[in-house]
């Protein structure tokens, strides 16, 4: 699409912080104005629109240039009005959380235990949600009370935090890792590192897999955008 505006600027409103494109409100697909919870996030979104299409009217642009805009719009239009479906979908990941499944290889299992168990301990202490650990890939049933506790935590998150979780949880394969990032217990890049311990270990023996490396880089870029979203929205 072609850029159709000259100026993008912040627009403080009683309900939040919007964006004006040549004086007209930037709107979500449903028709309402895009409103964000913090001036820093709104300023960053305005900067995306100011730079899009080479920074000049008529320039070719794509939505790939507007990652924060897409996330903020999703939080407002798809989550804020009815967060329950997102909450339920995310909470189900706790039933098969990555951190609960240790390798049969003793060396890798020891590494996983050293790196992952502190996060499970954090979930147990911080959220009263102790999860069971097993070896191999066969599902281990989790305590319904622990699962319910994690669901309650997810239900308390803001729409912006939920949209962040919507990216991080499937990327990591772990509700606990994503919660630790969103709640500021660990950095987003650290969450990604912990999520790929198995791949990192295997590459020590078999060398770099180009396809896997490309996928990890793409996920790392998505995680970096989420880290920026969370920082700006705070």
Residues 51 and 126 reside in one and the same domain: no
Q: How far apart are CA 168 and CA 161, in angstroms?
A: 10
pTM for the predicted model, two decimal places: 0.95
The CATH number assigned to the domain holding 102 equals 1.10.3580.10
Q: List, for residues 76-123, the tens digit of each pLDDT value.
A: 999 999 999 999 999 999 999 999 999 999 999 999 999 999 999 999
pLDDT of residue 190: 98
Token representation of residue 182:
């969103």
Query: Which of 156-170, 194-208, 210-224 ranks highest by mean pLDDT?
Result: 156-170
pLDDT of residue 193: 98
Residues 75 and 101 reside in one and the same domain: no
| pLDDT over 90 at 211, yes or no | no
CB contact at 8 A, 71 and 37:
no
| pLDDT over 90 at 166, yes or no | yes
pLDDT of residue 131: 98
Provide the mean pLDDT of the chain.
Answer: 96
| pLDDT over 80 at 52, yes or no | yes
Please identify which residue in the block is written with the tokens 């642009």: 61
pLDDT of residue 77: 96
Residues 118 and 227 reside in one and the same domain: yes
Percent with pLDDT over 70 in the chain: 100
pLDDT of residue 57: 92
Residues 214 and 109 reside in one and the same domain: yes
Of the three residues 80, 99, 131, the one that is the final residue of a domain is 80
Residues 68 and 92 reside in one and the same domain: no
Residues 140 and 227 reside in one and the same domain: yes
| pLDDT over 90 at 198, yes or no | yes
| pLDDT over 80 at 207, yes or no | no
Residues 197 and 107 reside in one and the same domain: yes
The number of folded domains in the chain is: 2
Q: Stretch 171-191: mean pLDDT, rounded?
A: 98
CB contact at 8 A, 223 and 191:
yes
Does a structural domain hold residue 1?
no
Residues 72 and 90 reside in one and the same domain: no
Residues 101 and 159 reside in one and the same domain: yes
Q: Stretch 55-77: mean pLDDT, rounded?
A: 95
The CATH number assigned to the domain holding 60 equals 3.30.2180.10
| pLDDT over 80 at 176, yes or no | yes
Q: List, for residues 117-141, the tens digit of each pLDDT value.
A: 999 999 999 999 999 999 988 999 9
> Which range of residues forms the domain containing residue 56?
8-80
Residues 218 and 153 reside in one and the same domain: yes
Does a structural domain hold residue 3?
no
Give the residue from 48, 84, 81, 86 showing the smallest Cα distance to 228: 48
């Amino acid at each position: 699409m072609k850029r159709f505006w000259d100026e993008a600027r912040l627009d403080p409103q009683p309900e939040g912080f919007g964006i004006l494109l040549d004086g007209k409100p930037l709107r979500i697909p449903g028709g309402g104005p895009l409103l964000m919870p913090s001036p820093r996030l709104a300023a960053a979104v305005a900067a995306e629109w100011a730079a899009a299409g080479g920074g000049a009217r008529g320039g070719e642009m794509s939505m790939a240039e507007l990652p924060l805009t897409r996330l903020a719009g999703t939080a407002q239009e798809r989550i804020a009005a009815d967060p329950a479906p997102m909450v339920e979908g995310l909470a189900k990941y706790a039933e098969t959380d990555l951190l609960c499944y240790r390798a049969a290889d003793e060396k890798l299992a020891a590494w996983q235990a050293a790196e992952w168990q502190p996060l499970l301990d954090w979930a147990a202490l911080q959220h009263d949600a102790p999860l069971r650990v097993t070896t191999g890939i066969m599902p281990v049933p989790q305590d319904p009370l622990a699962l319910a506790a994690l669901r309650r935590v997810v239900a308390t998150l803001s729409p912006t935090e939920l949209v962040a979780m919507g990216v991080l949880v499937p990327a990591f394969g772990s509700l606990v890792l994503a919660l630790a990032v969103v709640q500021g217990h660990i950095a987003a890049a650290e969450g990604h590192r912990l999520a790929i311990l198995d791949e990192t270990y295997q590459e020590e023996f078999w060398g770099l897999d180009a396809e896997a490396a490309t996928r990890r880089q793409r996920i790392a870029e998505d995680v970096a955008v989420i880290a920026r979203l969370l920082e700006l929205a705070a």
